[in-house]
Amino acid sequence: MFKKNIMGIFFATFIMVSNMQTVYGAEKGIVKQCDYLNIRKGPNVNYSVVSKVRTNDVIDIVEKNGNWYKIKTSSNIEGWVNSKYIDSYTQSSDEIKTEQLTDQNSNINKIVKVANAQIGKKYKWGSAGPSLFDCSGFTSYIYKNGAGISLPRTSVSQSKVGSKISRNQLKSGDLVFFNTSGKGISHVGMYIGDSKFIHASTSKGVRIDSLNSSYYKSKFVTASRIIK
């Protein structure tokens, strides 16, 4: 009888452990549209809440357990969230190399950090922060406050500074330009890796979008590298 119970405990423990998957590499995620997402101490709703993340927050996925992800936030908070609220993606080796290079470039790190801190703030034409932004006001603000670099005020003017690069040469910190008006360059954002960029959207404020979306893919014009 004792042996049978031991075997039962061993089998149950094996099932629990076998559902756990540690993630090695560079799997990240972006929080989907929601008011907020609770981070819990363990992988179900019975665990207490330790913190929260919000729409468009970028997180690291460090472990998986069924429909739950163990995540690490930009503030180094770790905990579990329901995976249905996360869009996950795995970086390619080229993107990992780019990120490693970015780690060596403190200016770009600071700009990206400043940019991420603005997510969720509202759009207002003619505004350049700190609480409201238009697109070129946003890029001006993050470059000035992240690296002390002054950019021209409009998207057209910003497209004329730095070194022109093609889309397949993009690295974190590069500026990306779009023709959203049908009359030439009218919108700007900053590339952050994995075909994503952060910008002040006229309809949704500061957020992260994909260059591969049908809309932005068709509107893309050019890109510039400010920091080499």
Q: Active-site positions?
A: 135, 187, 199
Q: What are phi and psi of 158, to 5 degrees?
A: -65, -30
Q: Is the peptide bond before 130 cis (omega within 30 degrees of 0)?
A: yes
Residue-by-residue DSSP string for the chain = -HHHHHHHHHHHHHHHHHTEEE--S-EEEEE-SSS-EEEESSSSTTSPEEEEE-TT-EEEEEEEETTEEEEE-TT--EEEEEGGGEEEEE--HHHHHHHHHHHH-HHHHHHHHHHHTTTTPEE-TT-BSSSEE-HHHHHHHHHHHHH-----SSHHHHTTSSEEE-GGG--TT-EEEE--SSSS--EEEEEEETTEEEEEETTTEEEEEETTSHHHHHHEEEEEES--
Task: Give the whole-angstrom CA distance, residue 198 versus residue 109.
Answer: 14
